[in-house]
Structure 1
Amino acid sequence: MLKVPDTFEYALDFELDDDAIAHVFVRDALVQFGDTPGALPWRFYRQAGLVAGRVHGIGQLDGRRHLAVALPDEFGAETLPEGLRAAGLRSWFGVLDDVSLAIAMRGVQLVEWDRTHRFCGACGTPTERVGHERARRCPSCGLSAYPRISPAMMALVTRGKELLLGRGLNFPPGRYSALAGFLEAGESVEEALVREVREEAGVEVKNLRYFASQSWPFPNSLMIAFTAEWAGGDIRIDANELADAQWFPIDALPQLPPRLSIARALIDATVAELSARP
């Protein structure tokens, strides 16, 4: 499962110099050198002709500062200097190392929050950055905006040694995963899990058990994963949410999500646990 190392230290440091590791973005597209993708100091990008726009500290790892750098609006994915390429983070899966990708996944959420909150949502006044915390504040009405985090539950339902897996409408052909959905206002994670499983697949669950969580920046989700046991009901999918849902024996699973996702970690851990049972 993709995540930053435990030794990563969160920071609000905004200083950008040639030695700082820069995660450079055109809107939500990560900029890389096409022939040597990877996390590089800012000097390489500066020497290639890039100019920093908005800059956000991400944190520090092994003594190196990591910053998210949004290019000014005049830069676009199609107008970058020769040798540079911009693409959505999913395009860099399997290309970048896991640590660089995990830090970039934090960075993109910061630059996109900053870009979309440059004006107050209540009165339209240009907002200002707050120095002591990650926030933008309206100097006119005082409204503060913080990076958006959208909590979403994930449920892997078991029935004996079977798993309930669904295929989302936008999944690659043949891929199945655990069920998932966003929380509604005022809902607990547990209430959302029961509701989403009922709405998407038509079954009831019991014995919810927390597994883990993962930040997932598409665009700003916090995936909170659980296992649950089937308590009754037959599969009746919501065609607005799923293309299919089935019970799969643990020794005959379909194509699964990539290993960097919490969905795959949840499935793999559950299969290992069920396989060890008599």
Structure 2
Amino acid sequence: MIQQNPEFERVNDAWWIVVSGDKILQHRDSPGLFRGDWQQMTDFHAWREDIIQVGEVDSRPCYVLDMDAQHVTQEVYEGISLRAMLMQLQAELFYVVSRAWQVALFLRTHRFCGRCGDRMARVEWELATQCHTCKHRCYPRISPCIIVAIRKGSQILLAQGRHHKNNMFSTLAGFVESGETLEQAVHREVFEEVGVKVKNLSYFASQPWPFPHSLMCGFLAEYDSGEISVDDDEIIEAQFFNFDALPNIPPTFSIAGQLIEATRELVSDR
């Protein structure tokens, strides 16, 4: 549920996602999302026209307020990264904050028409922007990605990306190209990144991933053939691991961590 111009002033208890620059704000003495009524959000009343409802959790509405590049008193508030905030949250709030971030990013990047260059206006009855000069209308971008856990006997294939931190290894992932099915994207990405072929694909689950606007479509697969050969571009190391000797892996709030756990269960059931 996404609503513009919500009746937020009459709500007694709400969640507030305040975006400032590339950070999400929180109280220095009370980490996490803001919670309360609009009167408690005094420092943010100047941005009242930029508030959008992005969902509801525990019967409390959730609102996003984007300050863009502006800031408030740093002694009271601090900005933390989206990833750090998401790691603090329960599953329901995780999805709402992911949505809020993408809504804020969409509105920031669609202030002007990509066709004629004139200023865009927000559509009142749906999440979209429209140019009144050429009538071009834009909706939030969603980029489908595949992510796949590959098992070989009692092992799982994990790879270290060039941009992974803390020596983390994860499952393989990549963007779906124009004209591809999800299954075709799995086969192509796996072969391009590590040089092996897979078989027996089965759909696992999906997860919105706001970095910046991806939809991760998860699969389980079995190794078919080939020798591991990393591309040395996105992937710098890959190998099959035993589950009793796994490297540093993603947490289970991410679909990568969930795929690894699902593969562990499949192996242990054999």
Q: TM-score, normalised by structure 2?
A: 0.91
- Find the partner of 1:54 among 50, 56, 68: 50
**2:65 counterpart residue number:** 69
CA deviation string 1:2-38 (max 9, x = no partner): xxxxxxxx23243232634321111341111111123
Structure whose residues are more often helix by fraction: 2
**1:5 counterpart residue number:** none
- Find the partner of 2:24 among 27, 30, 53: 30
**Alpha-carbon distance between aligned partners in 1 of 2:155 and 2:209, rounded to the nearest angstrom:** 27
- Aligned residues between the structures: 265
**Alpha-carbon distance between aligned partners in 2 of 1:252 and 1:124, rounded to the nearest angstrom:** 55
Q: Are positions 1:41 and 2:41 aligned together? A: no
| Alpha-carbon contact 1:51-1:72 (below 8 Å) kept | no
In the TM superposition, what are the counterparts of 1:110-149 in structure 2 within 5 Å?
Answer: 110-149=103-142
**1:224 counterpart residue number:** 217
- Find the partner of 2:158 among 165, 171, 184: 165
Change (3 A) 1:62 1:91: closer
In the TM superposition, what are the counterparts of 1:1-278 in structure 2 within 5 Å?
Answer: 10-15=1-6, 16-17=8-9, 19=12, 20-39=14-33, 40-43=35-38, 46-48=41-43, 51-52=46-47, 54-71=50-67, 73=69, 75-76=70-71, 79-277=72-270
- 2:23 maps to amino acid: A
Change (3 A) 1:81 1:177: closer
Task: Structure 2: give runs of 5+ residues left out of the alignment.
Answer: none
Change (3 A) 1:65 1:249: same
Q: What's the secondary structure of 2:3's corresponding residue?
A: coil
- Percent identity between matched residues is 37
Change (3 A) 1:148 1:172: same
CA deviation string 1:151-190 (max 9, x = no partner): 1000111111111110011112321110000011111111
- What CA RMSD, in Å, does the superposition of the two structures yield over aligned residues? 1.9
| Alpha-carbon contact 1:28-1:112 (below 8 Å) kept | no
Task: Structure 1: give runs of 5+ residues left out of the alignment.
Answer: 1-9
| Alpha-carbon contact 2:15-2:63 (below 8 Å) kept | yes
**Alpha-carbon distance between aligned partners in 2 of 1:99 and 1:22, rounded to the nearest angstrom:** 14
